[in-house]
Amino acid sequence: MQYILEQGVSHGTVFNSCHTSFAAEKNPLTEIQEGELCLCLEHRTVRVRERMINLTSKEFDILALLIANPKRVFTYELITDLVWKEDCDFYSRKAIHNHISKLRKKLRFEPDLPNYIESVAGIGYKFEHL
């Protein structure tokens, strides 16, 4: 099932409603799937090739931001504002870089998996699934 994003633009991202119980039928869960990567917003879980990926809170927040807006470039400042909810400084850029680096390693546990997060030199990052 594919949903239209708020801006009215449909991307290749698939949003699935999954039901796990009677209570879940009233409140379906939102899963975003790109290739073999699946992120559940409500449970804050990530799977790649059905393998659960353990992420820190900030790693999950960064991935959720990027995957919900595929191909959109997020500046360091915008990531800091939306994830940390504070102003960006030099330390923030290094912190974002470190989180992205760890996130990439966790998501690409096998060499044939894609690099889901691309750097945009001097600007920030974007989610790109080829």
pLDDT in tens, the chain (130 residues): 222 233 333 344 444 444 344 444 567 789 999 999 999 999 999 999 999 999 999 999 999 999 999 999 999 999 999 998 877 676 688 999 999 999 999 999 999 999 999 999 999 999 998 6
pTM for the structure as a whole: 0.79
Closest CA to 12 of 42, 26, 32, 29: 32
Q: How far apart are CA 25 and CA 2, in angstroms?
A: 18
Q: How far apart are CA 88 and CA 109, in angstroms?
A: 30
Q: Could you confirm whether domain 56-127 is CATH 1.10.10.10?
A: yes
Which residues are CB-neighbours of 101 under 8 A, at least 6 positions away?
none
Long-range contacts of 12-16 (CB under 8 A, 24+ apart): 12/70, 12/129, 13/67, 13/68, 13/70
Q: Where are the domains of the chain?
A: 56-127
